[in-house]
Structures are given as C-alpha cells and as structure tokens.
Amino acid sequence: MVVPVASYRELLSATRRVLELQRRAVAEIAADSLGRVAALKADPADLPRLSGDEAYELAHAIDFSRADAVVAADGPKFVEFNVGAGVGAVLEFELERRIWQRIRQESGAAELTAPGLYEQIAALVKKTCAEIGIDPSVLLIGSLQDPAKTTRYFRTQIGFLAEYGVRARFADLRSLREEIASDPDMKKMLGIVQFAEREANNCGWDTSSLVSATRDGLFALPSQTARLVDSKKVLALLSEGLPWMSRKDHDLVRRFVPWTRIVRDRKVRWRGHTHEMSRVLLEERDNFVLKGASGYSSQEVFFGLSTPDSEWRSLVASAMESEYYVAQEVVVPVRRPLQALLDQDGTVETVVANPRISPFCVGGVATGCSMRFSPSEGIGPITRPYGAWPGVLLGAPS
C-alpha cells in the first residue's frame, strides 16, 4: 500500500510520540522497577532479567517496538503496541521494502518513502556500543526451537547489519552458556534478545543462560522494562488520562488511541455517560474487545461480537476479579479496495480489505511500516493464523 508522504510521516511521528508517553507512564507509575511490576500486576516470571540499574531499564525500554493500528473513518487508531526485541515482521518488512525499492529502480520510477529498519538498528547498536565502550558488534540471541526462526533468518540479519558496519553473530539460547564460556570475547558484544520471555516460558524454553550472561556483564537490548511498557494496561492508563499529561498529550491520545480501560469493579465514562464497568461490557458487548495485558500473537483477545454469550459473561466476570484484562472499544475499519497479487503467474484480484498497519520504532526513531489485511468482512484479529495476507505500507515519493 502506498499513501501520501505527509500521511506516512504523520503516522510515524504519532507512533514515536505515543510510545514515548507509554515509557513515561511506566516510569511515573512507581519509583523503581519492583514498584512498577507491582503497580501493573505483572508476572515476575516474565521478567527474569529485570535489574536494579534503573537508568538502564528506562533508557532501553523502548529500543524495539511495533505498533498495530486500524484505520477508522477519522484516521489510524493504535489498538496496541508490541514492545521488545521479539516483535514480529521486522525481517519480513525489510525484505519486502528492498524488493519494492528495487522494482522502482529497475523501472526508472522514483523510490518510495520507506526508511530501512536495519540501518536504524545499526545506528542504535553503534550508539549503544560507544556509550558502553565496545566496538560496534552485536550478538543476536534467539531460539532455533521457534519454528519460525531458522539459521537463514539470523544469517540474513547478520548480512544486513554488516552492510552498515556492524559485526554480528548468532547465539542459540540453548548453547549460549557454553559459547560464552569458550569465547569470553562474546561478553564484549552487545546482545539483542530476539524473543519475549513470556513466549519462552509458554514454550518451555530455558532462559537461565541468558539471565546468567546478563548478570555476568553482557549488555543486552532491550531492557526488561520493555515488557512493562508492552503491557496493554499502559495504553489504557494513557487513554483514561494521567495527572502529568499535558493538553497536547491528551489531544494526541484522543486522536490516535481508542477508548481503553483496565477492567475492574468500578464506574467508567464511555460515550459521554457513566456506567458500571461490568454492566456496560455485558450490555454493549458488540462494541468491545477484551485483551489480556500480556498476551501476544493475538492470544487472549476476545471480541464481544463473535464470542458466545456464556463465554463472554464468564470472561467479563474473570476479568473483573483478576484485573488482568483491558477493555477496548472496537475500532470499525474503513474497508478499501486493494489489488492483491495472488501468485507467481501474475494473477491479480481486487479485494475489499481492512488493513492493519504496523509502524516500527527503533531506538526512539519511527522507521518503516509493515501491513497485513484480511479480505474477510468479519470483525476479529488481523493475523496470518486468521487468514490475513502480509504486505508493506510505504509513502509516496517525497
């Protein structure tokens, strides 16, 4: 998808600004990391690398993120932010971006506006390495137990980083301890963790080697506080409003963030009226989606419109008791006709789709935007397991 360059840049700017508000919301919620964990009721098991270095935790909490936005009649709305080095579609976006730019070059057309992700990742690596006094070299820490991550996946990233003067190598989570023991120079590399600890816990991966390495001196990005910024409760706090927010902050959130609240036994303001939270979620269920605060890959996401009545009632009751879920007003997408290239023989079909656009932010710089869309007319997650098609969103030539 190609959009006017002004709209593209506005989207990236809003991504950066809302993400920065989320980091500040986490910083302000308590005086230290343990207080923030308690305030957000986060699971300590998902935060094994949390350190006592508060400056490091906050400085590197938003090094890697991907927002997800639905385009409504009045513009894009951020329905969530995925924060951490394990955010998806990074490599896929970079490959597709390069493909489209090469097509434009070979056809003699002006290049589209599409900043490279790995150029910005390399800039972040160089900056961080300079700050800690090491050469610009990076250790990509991932797990080959993940079927979506092959050795080719990591080799491609290593090649991209080399283009920008960063030496990189891959270390598998299962052999990290042994590799560091046999090569002490690995401790002098900057680590980039490419999975979420909650994902690792759910999949049964042993992360003790990574925890040991960071405690023994390996400087790793992002900090564990990224998992707190990732909590959907943080976006809910911004949506409801926080005392330190300026008028400009409130205006930004109202424009780009849908109504989102932490579910608990209380009254809320929705569409100009005060409601008991449980009652409005039950009586207006078609207008809401429930999301687990730490869910990922569209897990723990339930739309009132498509969830059976008895299950919805049970979910609302459980959410009220646990205070783990957020309720978000469903963003109704504007469906647009898209010409989709379906296979190698050049077959093209026009579908009316509801695109989910996903701008990235690396080291505080918004850069690049993935996209996926579903030709389905239903309301629900826009992900590949649910039949969505991947793509990229680019800006028109500047």
Say yes or no to pLDDT of 274 above 70: yes
328: closest CA among 308, 301, 364?
Answer: 301
> How high is the pLDDT of residue 71?
92
Confidence of residue 380 (pLDDT cuts 50, 70, 90): low
> How high is the pLDDT of residue 355?
84
- Once rounded to an integer, what is the mean pLDDT over residues 228-252? 98
Reduce the DSSP state of residue 172 to 3 states and report it.
strand
The answer to whether the CB of 87 falls within 8 A of the CB of 365 is no
Confidence of residue 227 (pLDDT cuts 50, 70, 90): very high
Distance CA 254, CA 75 (A): 12
Residue 75 makes CB contacts below 8 A (sequence gap 6+) with 255, 256
Q: Please give the radius of gyration of the chain, using alpha carbons only, rounded to the nearest integer.
A: 21
pLDDT digits (tens, 9 = 90+) for 94-138: 999 999 999 999 999 999 998 899 999 999 999 999 999 999 999
- Once rounded to an integer, what is the mean pLDDT over residues 344-364? 85
pLDDT digits (tens, 9 = 90+) for 281-293: 999 999 999 999 9
Say yes or no to pLDDT of 348 above 90: no
> How high is the pLDDT of residue 379?
67
Reduce the DSSP state of residue 394 to 3 states and report it.
strand
Say yes or no to pLDDT of 220 above 70: yes
Higher pLDDT, residue 333 or 398: 333
Q: What is the pTM of this model?
A: 0.93
Distance CA 130, CA 243 (A): 36
> What's the token pair of residue 50?
């949390």
Confidence of residue 242 (pLDDT cuts 50, 70, 90): very high
> How high is the pLDDT of residue 377?
67
> How high is the pLDDT of residue 368?
92
- Once rounded to an integer, what is the mean pLDDT over residues 151-178? 95
Cα 345 to the center of its chain, rounded Å: 34
Which of 179-188, 202-211, 266-275 bottoms out in mean pLDDT, i.e. has the lowest? 179-188
Say yes or no to pLDDT of 156 above 80: yes
Distance CA 59, CA 67 (A): 19
> How high is the pLDDT of residue 298?
74
> What's the token pair of residue 191?
């680590």
Give bridge partners of residue 76 from the DSSP assignment. Answer: 71
The answer to whether the CB of 385 falls within 8 A of the CB of 101 is no
If one counts every other C-beta atom within 10 angstroms of the C-beta of residue 163, the result is 11
Cα 266 to the center of its chain, rounded Å: 29
Mean pLDDT of the chain: 92
> How high is the pLDDT of residue 174?
93
Say yes or no to pLDDT of 74 above 80: yes
Q: Using the structure block, give the residue that is written with the tokens 């990074």.
A: 90
Say yes or no to pLDDT of 365 above 90: yes
